[in-house]
Structure 1
């Protein structure tokens, strides 16, 4: 796939490597701080995604450089997923448009018929993609539990426990999470190896980051994946087996996950959800508040 894009004089582009993960985070963090007033991205998000066995970093990423400094990047993450960021100091120079074109070309060359990416609502990226014909597929929200508040306790059914997952339960966790997320996402099942790369092998991972609800026989019925970064306990995924919903398992997991993060030094409790899940009202009901709103915009190829 070609890496030649039309850039302003003095800028260059090349495929990225894993060593470029931190500069990518720096660019994305600067963009998020400008657009939503807080930094959401973490180094583990990039490294975990890029180290998936199915992901070819060189063929799937493109960095834009001013000398040795990374100032923008784009990636086709696979299927209909992509992402891109331009440092605020370099906006308005056509870099985002060029990267969007490269992403569409790359995705089309791999057989994709649509490609999209998340952007903060009302941001420069949102306005650019709208102007390029990208339509809104869904809305997502980052939510935070206000300081001093906790999620209300929810008792578990008799014989059930909420606890740290054991190593031999990792495939059961993968199954519960993938089954739940595939109910509303239009994609292929993620392999256990790719799932592991972004969870169990994520930089900074510790066993207590994976929480489960198990019944009296030890069967995993629900699972939560937690990250701890810069004082924030972030629940990345929360899933309950379809035949076990409505029993309070997810709320019990949320209480447990945030408590575990606080016990390990977290001062903030956050998660995200989107309009495909219908879970926003549930999180607001337990006291969480929206801190930023994102749109997933997509273009037909």
Structure 2
């Protein structure tokens, strides 16, 4: 356990320079910009296909990652290009400006399948680990700190590279899906509550409700308006719903995304429930069931074959059991690995 009374600059022990990958690895290294989004999406898709993953990263998602105002791409991204100018490897460090309980730096990267086995992945992890320490030390937030990454459980070699650099598995997530060609759950009628379609006028209430709902969830931090907007690349408003009480206050929400570029890799079209939450005082009254029942109907009406979502296996609200009771089954899983500072 780390001692958060020690200044973060001391705990982070940030190096003066983040180590650049060696020239002998055969690539030319530089930071990326918005113009590189297409090449980065293509690289990530090649990696995902080679690893047999049931999803693909789109250009729109990469643009959404690169464009937020808090990003310093010149310092927080690194990509390796071959002699033809094709990006063959990359890594990035990102932060979350709304962090209030734990200040976090997220790292990730990819190496083209044709360029693996040369030490490039380990070099990128070393660079991103060092840069993450610099970012945390400069954050100005005297809080517990975390460097984190997510690894799909079907790519254990990636997790081993991070573990060799000092990362430890700390949290486990399951991606669940529910077929829509079998009877859907009834929409429960709940006294004092109505479920309505998402609308722009409700959106900031939904954000604030989300921040309140997840205040007691491990690893969750408040989202600023800028963070909330930045996460909207695949937002599906017609698949999103809000639960209102008698005073028209938001007490629950289901925010959906439409990842059409994943469907060929997965083998079916689906709707993805990206965020789902219910205020504590309304839990235990089937509000989540009412929201998901509406979501499933919206997906099915648009010809989707599955409803999908992801859940922390240690979710304190008992969400995993709710989903299983509605017919969701585990499709694949992932792990968060961290260095706690």
TM-score by length of 2: 0.79
Root-mean-square deviation over aligned CA pairs: 2.4
SS of 2:201's partner is helix
Residue 106 and residue 143 in structure 1: after superposition, are their counterparts in 2 closer, same or farther (change >3 A)? Answer: same
Q: 2:229 aligns with which of 196, 206, 210?
A: 196
* Corresponding position: 1:299 with 2:339: yes
- Aligned positions of 1:211-290 closer than 5 A: 211-230=241-260, 231-277=269-315, 278-290=318-330
Distance 1:251 1:72, change over 3 A: farther
1:51 has 2:67 as partner: yes
**Pairs aligned (count):** 298
Unaligned runs of 5+ in 1: none
Structure 1 residues 227-236 or 4-13, which shifts more?
4-13
**Does structure 1 conserve the Cα–Cα contact (< 8 Å) formed by 2:79 and 2:90?**
yes
Query: Which residue of structure 2 aligns with residue 208 of structure 1?
Result: 238
Per-residue CA deviation, residues 139-197 of structure 1 (Å, 9 max, x unaligned), is: 11111113523552240312422221221111100011122223213464221122122
- Indicate the SS of the match to 1:118: strand
- Give 1:101 deviation, angstroms: 0.8
Contact 1:228 1:266 in 2 (8 A): no
SS of the residue 1:243 aligns to: helix
The one of 120, 140, 153 equivalent to 1:121 is: 153
C-alpha separation between the residues in 2 aligned to 1:153 and 1:42? 35
- String of CA shifts for 1:109-163, please: whole Å, max 9, x gaps: 1225431211122522022222333210101111111352355224031242222
DSSP-derived class of the 1:145 partner: strand
Shift of 1:272: 0.9
Aligned residue for 1:62, secondary structure, equals strand
Q: Distance in 1 between matches of 2:179 and 2:76?
A: 38
Which is worse superposed, 151-160 or 133-142? 151-160
Larger Rg, first or second structure (1 or 2): 2
User: TM-score of the superposition, structure 1-length normalised?
Assistant: 0.88
Residues 138 and 295, structure 1, Cα contact 8 Å, conserved in 2: yes
Aligned pairs for 1:39-118 within 5 A: 39=55, 41-66=57-82, 67-78=84-95, 79-111=104-136, 113-118=145-150
Deviation at 1:270, TM superposition (A): 1.2
Q: Secondary structure at the match of 2:179?
A: coil
Give, in whole Å, the separation in 2 of the partners of 1:145 and 1:97: 37
Q: Within 1, Cα distance between the matches of 2:130 and 2:193?
A: 50
Gaps of 5+ in 2: 1-16, 96-103, 138-144, 261-268
Residues 50 and 153 of structure 1: is their aligned pair in 2 closer, same or farther, counting only changes over 3 Å?
farther
